[in-house]
Amino acid sequence: MTVSGTIELDLCGLRCPLPLLKIKQALRGLQQDKLLRVWLDDEGSLKDVPLWLATSTHQLVTNEQADKGVCLLIRCGGSHQGL
């Protein structure tokens, strides 16, 4: 789903490592500076995704509690190293 140019993924109900793999796949298809909004509810993924982002070219913009889990807003770094 796309809202205001932001790609959105609802990954609630998926367990680690599937959310991280789907996030990596989505980021591969984005241009630099485009945004990816992701909803997660898996405790393992809530730890792993920010750790992976810290070692990638992508940036975690926000990490907020939402009604259906945690909402992460990720800015694509453009260079796909670390995928």
Q: Domain with 59 in it: what CATH number?
A: 3.30.110.40
Six-digit token pair at 58? 């992508």
**Domain presence at residue 81:** no
Q: pLDDT of the chain along its 83 residues, tens only? A: 455 678 999 999 999 999 999 999 999 999 999 999 999 999 999 999 999 999 999 999 999 998 889 999 999 997 654 44
* pTM listed for this prediction: 0.87
**Domain presence at residue 65:** yes
**Domain presence at residue 83:** no
In angstroms, the CA 68 to CA 44 distance is: 16
Structural domain of residue 36, as residue ranges? 2-75
Query: Which of 74, 12, 67 is CA-nearest to residue 41?
Result: 12
Q: What is the pLDDT of residue 6?
A: 86
In angstroms, the CA 83 to CA 81 distance is: 6
Cα end-to-end distance, the chain, whole Å: 22
**Domain presence at residue 71:** yes
Q: CB count, 10 Å around CB of 8?
A: 16
Q: What is the pLDDT of residue 41?
A: 97
In angstroms, the CA 77 to CA 14 distance is: 25
How many domains does the chain contain in total?
1
**Domain presence at residue 20:** yes
